[in-house]
């Protein structure tokens, strides 16, 4: 008999709590870093001020989910029958518990999601009431925050002890995660497919069902599984994960927190970069009359972009100092499935020409491609050409990691976040120029 996810999690939480308590109680004064003026002014780069066990981002190696690299994660998790890709449900089990699930444990999670996936009618009414040209990220964020009235945490907050906050948070997280793919697909079909909505299929896994509701044939189900997995978590300091964590630290519920996460992801320097990449490539394609540019021609486009003061979207990273393994996983998928796609060829040329140019320009600390440089091309290839929708896909994936983080933050009793600010006057006094 498969272990229920919540029971397994409870056991993990009980085992984990003494570790956090001991660190706090016996070693709370031990220093783990220093903060410079450059860091305080410069977006807190490299400041060690967060703790998460869901994933860790090594600057050179890239992301590990619960200690597993992307290739290990893809290899070890149970696969959907007839597919090379793991269940999103099994991946969520890994994020939450730290363990690779058995097939029957995956089934339990899939059933949990299945029974919670009905989207309330008022969310549909709300989406339909918005002007159709509203950005899909605004639609998604509106839908998520609107469901705040469903929060189990809010209902139970006054009746339970702090120790148990994670339990209704867990319920909220599963309720929301189960609905996100349907909401995303609804927005897509309503906005871009003539309002032809496709009902979910209860027999399909999360990734398969998403592809079904999007109305896109195989292997888009595998694309969805891979996409949600790769975009789920990148430790806690990035804008979307941190926004979710920060909001939740005030004990705002999952709906408010994930709403904030989505709004952070909507910025062009963060999740919206996948839309920006496609827009930028389309511009190049138009100028080239859709002919594949030579490396020399592409170099000129890249320099033109830089010289006009723009960033080259899809390249650079605040932490990574190597090619993003999330980029590589998608590149491998592209080489296997769409290597003759004209846009992939553009991306391939960019892969070769951009890093040396960014190095020559000498500004970006990391000249290598990130996750966003490759993901839009795959979507485009399978007919999802409305690139302002791409960050919605990113949001569905990112919510898996942020929800897992928030459940654990409530379980370990992480307090309300409140870093300290200084004034410019104070900094000048510290360095002796005032
Ligand atoms: C991701 C990103 C926001 C990280 O920012 P960061 O941590 O400040 O990066 P760096 O410390 O390397 O930035 C140093 C300088 O290089 C520039 N730079 C970084 N990446 C660049 C890029 N892809 N193209 C042009 N310039 C870039 C920065 O704008 C900054 O310039 P400034 O000193 O004039 O302000 C940045 O690399 C970027 O804007 N990339 C393009 C957008 C993108 O792909 N975002 C998705 C990330 S997953």
Give the Cα separation of 210 and 229 in Å (integer).
Answer: 14
| CA–CA dist 42, 427 (Å, integer) | 14
Instruction: Name which residue sits closest to atom 32 of ligand 1, judged by CA.
Output: 363
- Residue 367 CA to residue 370 CA, distance in Å, equals 9
The structural architecture, per CATH, of the domain 273-381 is Orthogonal Bundle (1.10)
Which of 308, 299, 297, 317 is closest to 360 using CA atoms?
299
- Active site (catalytic) residues: 270, 317, 372
Atom of ligand 1 nearest to the CA of 319: 7
User: Distance from the CA of 305 to the center of ligand 1, in angstroms?
Assistant: 13
- Rounded distance, CA 221 to CA 206, Å? 9
What's the predicted TM-score (pTM) here?
A: 0.95
Structural contact between residues 144 and 255, judged by C-beta atoms closer than 8 angstroms: yes
Residue located nearest, by CA, to atom 2 of ligand 1:
317
The overall average pLDDT reported for the chain is: 96
Ligand 1 pocket test: pick from 364, 387, 390 the residue with the most ligand atoms within 8 Å of its Cβ: 364
| pLDDT reported for residue 56 | 97
Residues 6+ apart with CB under 8 A from 303: 357
Q: Both ends of the chain: CA-CA distance in Å?
A: 70
**C-alpha to C-alpha distance for 72 and 412, rounded to whole angstroms:** 28
Query: Residue 158 corresponds to which tokens in the numbers above?
Result: 């006054």
Q: Tell me which residue has its CA closest to atom 25 in ligand 1.
A: 311
Count of Cβ atoms closer than 10 Å to residue 188 Cβ: 24
- Which pLDDT does position 3 carry in this prediction? 60
Cβ-Cβ contacts under 8 Å for 314 (sequence gap 6 or more):
273, 274, 276, 277, 350, 369, 370, 372, 373, 374
The H-or-E segment that residue 62 falls in is strand 62-65
Residues, the chain: 434
Protein residue whose Cα sits closest to atom 46 of ligand 1:
270
CA of 383 to the centre of ligand 1 (A): 30
CA of 93 to the centre of ligand 1 (A): 33
Distance CA 69, CA 87 (A): 17
Spans in the chain with pLDDT lower than 50: 1-2
CA of 360 to the centre of ligand 1 (A): 14
The torsion angles phi and psi of 402, rounded to 5 degrees, stand at -70, -40
- pLDDT, tens only, 154-172: 999 999 999 999 999 999 9
Ligand 1 pocket, residues with Cβ under 6 angstroms: 269-270, 273, 306, 311-318, 363-366, 370-372
Of ligand 1's listed atoms, the one at least distance from the Cα of 366 is: 12
User: Distance from the CA of 88 to the center of ligand 1, in angstroms?
Assistant: 31
Question: DSSP assignment of 188-229, as one string?
Answer: HHHHHSTT------TTS-HHHHHHHHHT--TTHHHHHHHHHH
Structure tokens at 4: 């229920």
Whether the CB-CB separation of 243 and 264 falls below 8 Å is answered with yes
For residue 365, which atom of ligand 1 is closest to its CA?
Answer: 12
Residues sharing a CB contact under 8 Å with residue 412, sequence separation 6 or more, in sequence order: 13, 16, 17, 20
How far is 268 from 307, CA to CA, in rounded Å?
19
3-state secondary structure of 294: coil
Domain positions in the chain are 273-381
Task: Report CA-CA distances (Å) from 337 to 7, 139, 198, 218, 380.
Answer: 40, 32, 26, 11, 13
pLDDT at 192: 98
Q: Which atom of ligand 1 is nearest to the CA of 45?
A: 7
Return the pLDDT at 86: 98
Residue nearest to atom 31 of ligand 1 (CA): 363
The proportion of the chain whose per-residue pLDDT surpasses 90, expressed as a percent, equals: 93
pLDDT at 153: 98
Could you read off the pLDDT of 275-328 as tens digits, one per residue?
A: 888 889 988 889 889 898 899 999 999 999 999 999 999 999 999 999 999 999
């Amino acid at each position: 008999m498969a272990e229920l996810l919540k029971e397994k999690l409870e056991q993990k939480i009980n085992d984990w709590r003494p570790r956090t308590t001991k660190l706090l109680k016996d070693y709370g004064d031990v220093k783990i870093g220093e903060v410079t003026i450059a860091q305080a002014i410069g977006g807190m780069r490299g400041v060690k001020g967060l703790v998460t066990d869901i994933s860790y981002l090594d600057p050179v190696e890239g992301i590990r989910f619960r200690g597993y690299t992307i290739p290990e994660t893809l290899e070890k998790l149970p696969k959907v029958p007839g597919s090379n890709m793991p269940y999103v449900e099994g991946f969520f089990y890994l994020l939450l518990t730290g363990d690779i699930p058995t097939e029957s444990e995956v089934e339990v999670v899939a059933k949990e999601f299945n029974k919670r996936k009905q989207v309330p009618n008022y969310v549909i009414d709300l989406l339909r009431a918005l002007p159709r040209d509203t950005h899909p990220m605004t639609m998604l964020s509106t839908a998520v925050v609107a469901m705040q009235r469903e929060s189990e945490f809010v209902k139970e907050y006054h009746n339970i002890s702090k120790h148990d906050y994670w339990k209704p948070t867990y319920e909220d997280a599963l309720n929301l995660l189960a609905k996100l793919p349907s909401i995303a697909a609804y927005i897509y079909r309503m906005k871009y497919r003539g309002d032809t909505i496709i009902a979910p299929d209860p027999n399909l896994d999360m990734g398969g069902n998403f592809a079904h509701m999007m109305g896109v044939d195989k292997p888009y189900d595998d694309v969805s599984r891979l996409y949600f997995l790769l975009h789920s978590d990148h430790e806690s300091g990035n804008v979307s994960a941190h926004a979710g964590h920060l909001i939740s630290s005030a004990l705002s519920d999952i709906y408010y927190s994930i709403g904030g996460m989505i709004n952070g992801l909507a910025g062009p320097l963060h999740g919206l970069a996948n839309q920006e990449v496609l827009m930028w490539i389309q511009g190049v394609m138009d100028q080239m009359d859709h002919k594949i540019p030579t490396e020399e021609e592409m170099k000129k486009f890249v320099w033109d972009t830089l010289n006009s003061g723009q960033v080259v979207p899809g390249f650079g990273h605040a932490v990574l100092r190597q090619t993003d393994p999330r980029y590589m996983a998608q590149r491998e998928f592209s080489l296997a499935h769409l290597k003759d796609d004209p846009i992939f060829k553009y991306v391939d040329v960019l892969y070769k020409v951009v890093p040396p140019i960014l190095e020559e320009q000498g500004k970006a600390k990391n000249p290598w491609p990130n996750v966003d440089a490759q993901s839009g091309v795959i979507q485009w290839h399978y007919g999802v050409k409305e690139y302002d929708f791409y960050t919605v896909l990113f949001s569905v994936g990112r919510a898996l990691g942020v929800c897992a983080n928030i459940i654990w933050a409530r379980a370990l009793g992480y307090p309300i976040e409140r870093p300290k600010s200084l004034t410019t006057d104070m900094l000048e006094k510290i360095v002796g120029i005032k």
